[in-house]
Amino acid sequence: MNKKVLSLGVMLSLATTGAMAADVVTTSVNNGDQLSKYQKEAIQLTQKQLAEKSVQDSKTYESKLDLDESRTIELALANNRTAKQTKWGYEAAKSAVSEVAAGKNPSVSYGWSVNRNGGDSGSGKSGSHNFSITAPVFNPQLDASIDSARYTREGTGASYEEALQQAKYDAIYNYYTLIMNRNLVDVAQETVKNYQGQLTNAEAQYNVGLVASSDVLSAKTNLADAETTLLKAQNTANLAEANLNKVIAYPVQTSITTVESNLQYKPYNVTLEQAKAYAMLHRSALVKSALDVKSAEEAVKSAKAGYLPTVNVSIGRGYTDPDGYFGTSTKSWSVGASASWSLWDGGATQNAIKKANAELEQAKEANLAAIDTVLLAVQKAYLNLRSAEQTINSTQTAVNQGEENFRIATLRYRAGVGTSLDVLNAETTLTDARNNYVEALYNYNISIAELEQLTGVPLNTPVGQGAEIIANSGAVEQLAKLGSNQ
């Protein structure tokens, strides 16, 4: 009977732990009935979340949305899903510190045991229960782990700040992109209008015998090409609207009206040296990489703690009952201390220290690489800003000249002293100049937003107003002072 019970227990243990399970792993969600239970549960969870999101979207979000720059950024900071993920990572890191630090607190435990016996010598029952409090006195490994967790927490906080900065930039980037593409639609519409006028002129000239039918055919061809370009521009603008909705976590079909219909040029008076210095002191990505170094330093301390002892103290109170399960007839107490010191662990501590030192050097190199990356990105954004600034003036002049050339070419054609090719060339030049001007304004404003994101200008600063903060921060002087103190 005992052997049967033992065999049944072993079989039950194997079944519940999965030792006898023959899992069939599938890698495609298109296997229909062959999907595993876990894959089906994952798909069902996704479907449930999509259904809940659909209901929420219909109740929460407007079908039409009026946006300006500040409102766009506000929605992105509140709703951006990547930023939200990072926020929860920060919350988890804060809890991780408390979890590790709890090891410094006294621990209270309660134990209860009972026993019943029988046989030829008689039968009986007994019970005991006790309370104990244990507290660490000296545990350098725990201390280092707590400090490491704190640095990790602060680094995760910096990552959250970086995610918010990225969300702000993504929002304004897509906002400006939508405006630019709608401006390009306006240019394309104006081009279609001009070609429609040219077709009317060509038909009038042909009807009185002043031009050949090839002029009419050429005008129709140019008009068809312009209409195709207009359709493509409208499609690109629609996609830009959907992308902006995604960034602010609105349904992609939401109709957006932008308060600003055109991008403007506003001087941005900072130097490259000021921008780089400000980034060195305020960019959250650099804060994160520096904190990773500090966390790695604590990991080295934690590894070295393997050579040191740990000391705990404890107090306890116990009760036993020789004739029952819950009695307190016999009382006892205890006060004690314990020390543990590993004199030889087979080289585990030595290799743990080597590993931690290697990871520390890796973190230092990553920090230096982050500095190089940030400084290069700042310089690139700054140079792009100045290049776009210079292009704005030249393209504005080109637009003015193009409009005048097109006007003259059209008048000459109507008077019969110009050709349709002259009009076509003038219109093409004018369209290119208008597109270049729109793109120059876009590149300039995007470069400003990128520069402010890369330097770590405060989140609550409206885009374009970071120049004064950077210029007046004294970052160049601070860095110089820090360098002289080394």
Low-confidence winner among 15-24, 100-109, 425-434, 455-464 (lowest mean pLDDT): 15-24
pLDDT of residue 210: 84
Count how many residues are written for the chain. 486
Cα–Cα distance measured from residue 235 to residue 252, given in angstroms and rounded to the nearest whole number = 14
Cα–Cα distance measured from residue 61 to residue 259, given in angstroms and rounded to the nearest whole number = 19
Torsion of CA 201, 207, 211, 216, to 10 degrees: 60
Mean pLDDT of the chain: 88
Check whether 12 has a pLDDT greater than 70. no
How crowded is residue 178: how many other Cβ atoms within 10 Å of its Cβ? 24
Cα–Cα distance measured from residue 448 to residue 442, given in angstroms and rounded to the nearest whole number = 10
Instruction: For Cα atoms 350, 354, 357, give the angle at the middle one, nearest 5 degrees.
Output: 135
- Torsion-angle region of 119 (φ positive above 0: left; ψ -120 to 50: alpha; else: beta): left
Q: Which distant-in-sequence residues (6+ apart) come within 8 Å of 314 by Cβ?
A: 132, 133, 134, 135, 334, 335, 336, 337, 338
For 36-195, list the strands marked E by DSSP.
64-67, 107-117, 124-138
- Torsion-angle region of 474 (φ positive above 0: left; ψ -120 to 50: alpha; else: beta): left
Q: Which distant-in-sequence residues (6+ apart) come within 8 Å of 241 by Cβ?
A: 178, 255, 256
Q: What is the mean pLDDT of residues 159-168?
A: 94
Cα–Cα distance measured from residue 71 to residue 257, given in angstroms and rounded to the nearest whole number = 12
Most distant pair of Cα atoms in the chain: their distance = 134
Q: Which helix (H) or strand (E) holds 334?
A: strand 330-340
Q: What is the mean pLDDT of residues 377-397?
A: 95
Cα–Cα distance measured from residue 24 to residue 446, given in angstroms and rounded to the nearest whole number = 51
Greatest mean pLDDT among 12-21, 72-81, 340-349: 72-81
Cα–Cα distance measured from residue 370 to residue 372, given in angstroms and rounded to the nearest whole number = 5
Percentage of the chain modeled with pLDDT above 90: 61
Q: What is the mean pLDDT of residues 34-45?
A: 73
CATH number of 64-106+138-308+347-484: 1.20.1600.10
131: tokens are 């309370």
Low-confidence winner among 45-49, 291-295, 402-406, 438-442 (lowest mean pLDDT): 45-49
Q: What is the mean pLDDT of residues 174-197?
A: 96
CB distance 370 to 285 below 8 Å: yes
Q: 143: closest CA among 107, 104, 105?
A: 104
387: tokens are 């290049």
How crowded is residue 21: how many other Cβ atoms within 10 Å of its Cβ? 10
pLDDT of residue 56: 63
132: tokens are 């104990």
* Domain range annotation of the chain: 64-106+138-308+347-484
With H, G, I as helix, E, B as strand and everything else as coil, classify residue 311. strand
pLDDT-derived band at 1, boundaries 50, 70, 90 = very low
Q: What is the CA radius of gyration of the chain?
A: 37
- Higher-confidence position of 322 and 474: 474
Q: What is the mean pLDDT of residues 291-301?
A: 92
Q: What does the buried/exposed string (b/e) look like for 185-195 if buried means 16 or more CB atoms within 10 Å of the residue's CB?
A: bbbbebbbebb
Cα–Cα distance measured from residue 205 to residue 412, given in angstroms and rounded to the nearest whole number = 12
pLDDT of residue 19: 45
pLDDT-derived band at 27, boundaries 50, 70, 90 = low
257: tokens are 């009206």
How crowded is residue 136: how many other Cβ atoms within 10 Å of its Cβ? 16
Q: Which helix (H) or strand (E) holds 280?
A: helix 272-282
What would the pLDDT profile of 117-126 be if each residue is shown by its tens digit? 887 777 888 8
Supply the pTM of this predicted model.
0.79
Q: 30: closest CA among 21, 39, 19?
A: 39
